[in-house]
Each structure stands twice: as structure tokens, then as C-alpha cells.
Amino acid sequence: MAPISIKRILISESVDPCCKNILQENGIQVTEKQNMSKDDLIAEIKDYDGLVVRSATKVTADVIKAAGNLKIIGRAGTGVDNVDVDAATIKGIIVMNTPSGNTISAAELTCTLLMSLSRNVPQAAMSMKAGNWDRKKFMGTELYGKILGIVGLGRIGKEVATRMQSFGMKTIGYDPITPPEVTATWGVEQMSLEQLWPQCDYITVHTPLMPSTAGLLNDTSFAKCKKGVKVVNCARGGIIDEDALLRALESRQCGGAGLDVFVEEPPKNRALVNHPNVISCPHLGASTKEAQARCGQDIALQIVDMVMGKSLVGACGLWPCKLNMVCCFYHNLGDCLKDSSAYMTSAVMVGLLRDGSQSCPNLVNSLTLAKESGVTVTRNHSEGLTQGACEVEISVNGSSYRATGSVQGGVPVLLELNSSVFRQPVSLTGNLLFFKAVASPPLLPSVTGLLATAGVEMESFSAPAARSGDQWYCVGLSSLLGDLGALKPLVKAAAQVSV
Ligand SMILES: O=C(O)C(=O)COP(=O)(O)O
């Protein structure tokens, strides 16, 4: 990828000093300003081409609008829900996070809250400080032999599971993406939420906050739980509906809650915080020296790599804008292929989700993952016009991509891409890199040179039949290639083309 010039970065929160040091050592000017109001940030941001935040800085569309020079928003941490990623991406601002730096700290705090809930440690400590010695009031229960339901089995859910197993807890869980056979290897039996709720003595949530997870625990799901279930939220405020939680605590359907996060932070409504069976922290999941050092270092190194044109690790929302709607039209599939169109739709979604997602889409989970992320996917057939060739048309957020292909001698071939007809059918085998460019004599040597510099051998070159306007080209690459994705920005920058 081409280097991106970043000269001045604003760090608007308490980020580990190693972040500033690394950036400065690499020639970037750094200003630290904490506790800025929205208006302060709007007034200040125009002077910077980079911004580093944690969760407290709200990088809204208004802030992004005022950020005339901004090229990068670095989140020293995981959740980017305080950043309007769509508004940033549309403006060409890269948003990147450091998704693994605080996994262990978030998991450890979750375990701390589970243990504190079982033995009333915070309440007992407060009572001692008030001069009391009350051994009866704080009778607890063992964790041993109890069932822990983990909703969200990503990095943090996994670490919570393995730690709580060492206390003799049985761990069950649910995740729409991580396959059950994978979680089984770390001792978590997966099941539907309907099956999970009634079994749990404790429930902990480890999902992002998104439409499908907001209010995941609500009046209806609490009613399905065991009476006295205890819940923990160290993920995002709102995954457990706060009003429903208060009602469940009052009716004793919920026996206690450990909350590190709130819908509004700090919460103005103190009803939950003040409830005797609630223990709470001011969003401390990532607040350890180790997690902050990792996140501060990771975000600084990622920004430096980007400045040097090395890579875009941790970039969120690289799809030009958020995926909303994907329509797959299949024309002329023939009787036997018609039945495979569901499979082809899953394959399309793997390709589309792979670039922007922190999870790993595959043919089994891609449609579920799309649904979870609020993407509408539709599929249609019709009899096509081209004899013997089948056409696949994919429309993404209203922009269409059309491919026409066939099978020749048992090999699937591509005949046409977005109205650009190839001179020879392109065999759809091996590693192929497609790019769009205007025909010119230096095009082939410049692409060959670029691939050679990246250590990749070109095996074939397919040119379009027509020579006018933007046309699609395809190069076949040697099987030595490790990371096809890494080549895309290279070719894009060098040939000024779409890849
Ligand atoms: O990384 C995350 O998602 C967190 O919630 C941690 O937030 P913080 O960096 O402590 O403001």
C-alpha cells in the first residue's frame, strides 16, 4: 500500500505513554488533551491528521465533519462504538482498533465479578469499613458445580470459560459465529439461547452491542431463567436491558448483577448502581497496566506501519461504507446449479464480509454473520439471455457487479466481468487478482514489476477484448503466494485502479 502522511496526532484520552513515545520516535508530533467537551474537540480536530481515543471520546459525525485533515482514528482498545465508523469511512478516514490487547484484563474482571457475586465480597468489605462484623448477612454460595452461561464466545468469552472451569463450573454458551466443535475443544457446550436460559446459575455476556444483541437479556429472557440467576456485563451497556434488570432484581428473579458498563457512562440514573444486589465498576475492564501498555503500543505501531505504507492492521470498515443490502441474482443457472444457489450466496457473503469483519466468515456461518450484522441478503433466479453461460449479478448497497461464466472442459471459466468481455475465457483456478484499468502500453510491465517486487510470480494475464474506457484485467499468480489480500492495496496504488 502507498505510505500515508501523518504529521500531527491528538491523543484525547489517558493512553499509555508508550503510544506517544513510539509515535514521536517515528517523527509524528503528538498533543495530549484529555476531558475535552464536544465543542472543544470540534474546534481542535481540524489541526490534526490523526486522533487516538479510548471509549470516552465520542467521535460523532459532527466531529468527523469538522475534521478537515483527519486520515486516521486509532482506538486503543476493542469497541469502536464511540466512533461513527460509517461517517469516517465515507470521508476516507481509516478507523483502526487493537482487538486483542485487553482480552485477558476484560476476562479477569469478569471472573472477579462472578466470584464477588458468589461471596458478596464488595458488600462485606463496605460493611467492615462501616465498623460492622456481620457474618450471617453475607452467606454466599460456591461456584463449584454451578452452570455458567457465556453468551458470545469470542476471545474474551473463551478466556472466561477456561478460567471459570478451574473453579469446577460447567460452562455452556451460545455464539452465532464460533462453531460448536471449536468451543467444545475449550470445554463449552453450545446450544440455542432458548435452551441456555433455564439452565444457568450465572450468565455473562461477551458480545458487541449491535441491534441483535441490544436487550438480549430482557423481561422475556429473564422470565425463562432460573429464579435467582446472577448476571455479569463487562461487555457493553444495554446488552442486558437496564430497566428489565432492575425489575428482575426487585422481583428476585435475578439474584445479583456485576456491571462494569452502562448505557450512559457515567450513569445518571443510579437505581442499578445503588441496588444492594448490584456490584459495579466504572468501566474498568481494560484498565490494567498490562492491557493499556499493549493497546497503546499496538495502536502506535499500527499507525506507524500505515505511515510507512506497510499494512493496515486492525482497520475497521474498509468496505467503502457499511454493508446494508446484498442482492444475488442468478440467471441461466440450469437445473443442476439452481439447487446450489444458496451455497453460492454463502460464498458471496464470505468474500464480502472477510475484509471488514473481525470474525472469520466461512461457508457455514456467513449468512448468519450477515444477519447478525444487520445485512439484508436476498437471492433470485431467472432464465438468462446468454446461451450456455450462467450469469451471477451481485448488487451491494445498490451497486451491481456482474459476472458471466461457463464450464469448459470441466473447468469453470469467466467470460465477462461488469460488461468487460475477456479476450480469452479466464480459468477460475488458483490465485487470481482482478483489477480495473484503462488500457495502456506500460500497464503490463508495471503490474509485472510490482508483483515481482512483492516476490510473486505472474502465471497468466487476461486482457479485455475492448480497448476503450475502464476494463477489467486478470492476472493468475503463483501458488507461492501467502496473502493475496496484502497485494490488493499495492496494485491499487501502483496502477491507480480498482481491485
Ligand atoms: O476496549 C474496549 O472495548 C473497552 O471497553 C475498553 O474501554 P477503555 O479503553 O477502557 O475506555
Q: What is the pLDDT of residues 136-145, one digit of tens each?
A: 999 999 999 9
**In this structure, which residue's CA is closest to atom 7 in ligand 1?**
55
Within 10 angstroms of residue 383's Cβ, the number of other Cβ atoms is 8
Ligand 1 midpoint to CA 204 (Å): 17
Q: Give the model confidence (pLDDT) of 303-318 as tens digits.
A: 998 888 776 666 765 5
Q: Give the model confidence (pLDDT) of 116-132 as tens digits.
A: 999 999 999 999 999 99
The grid coordinates of residue 350 equal 464470505
Ligand 1 midpoint to CA 347 (Å): 33
Using the predicted structure, report yes or no on whether residue 171 has a pLDDT greater than 80. Answer: yes
Which residue out of 12, 55, 96 has the highest number of ligand 1 atoms within 8 Å of its CB and is therefore the one to mutate?
55
Ligand 1 atom closest to residue 77's alpha carbon, by position in its atom list: 1
Ligand 1 midpoint to CA 241 (Å): 20
Proportion of the chain above pLDDT 90, given as a percent:
55
What is the pLDDT at residue 456?
74
What is the pLDDT at residue 272?
98
Q: Rounded to whole angstroms, how far apart are CA atoms 256 and 236?
A: 18
Q: Rounded to whole angstroms, how far apart are CA atoms 149 and 165?
A: 12
Q: Rounded to whole angstroms, how far apart are CA atoms 150 and 171?
A: 7
391 is catalytic: no
Q: Worst-scoring range by mean pLDDT, 88-92, 161-165, 174-178, 421-425?
A: 88-92
Ligand 1 atom closest to residue 287's alpha carbon, by position in its atom list: 10
- pTM given for the model: 0.70
Of 155 and 444, the one with more pLDDT: 155
Given pLDDT bands bounded at 50, 70 and 90, which one contains residue 115?
very high
Cβ of 173 closer than 6 Å to ligand 1, yes or no, is: no
Q: Give the model confidence (pLDDT) of 363-420 as tens digits.
A: 777 787 787 677 889 888 777 555 667 888 888 877 777 888 887 877 888 988 888 8
* C-beta separation of 478 from 458 below 8 A: yes
Q: Rounded to whole angstroms, how far apart are CA atoms 268 and 30?
A: 33
What is the pLDDT at residue 357?
47
What is the pLDDT at residue 492?
55
3-state secondary structure 80-105: CCCECHHHHHHCCCEEEECCCCCHHH
* Secondary structure tally for the chain: helices H, strands E: 18, 22
283 is catalytic: yes
Using the predicted structure, report yes or no on whether residue 203 has a pLDDT greater than 80. Answer: yes
Cβ of 69 closer than 6 Å to ligand 1, yes or no, is: no
Q: What's the length of the chain?
A: 499
Give the sheet arrangement for strand 254-259, strand by strand: 189-190, 170-174, 147-151, 202-205, 229-233, 254-259, 278-280
Given pLDDT bands bounded at 50, 70 and 90, which one contains residue 320?
very low
How close are the terminal C-alpha atoms of the chain, in Å?
A: 12
418 Ramachandran zone, left/alpha/beta (phi>0; psi -120 to 50): left
Cβ of 206 closer than 6 Å to ligand 1, yes or no, is: no
206 is catalytic: no
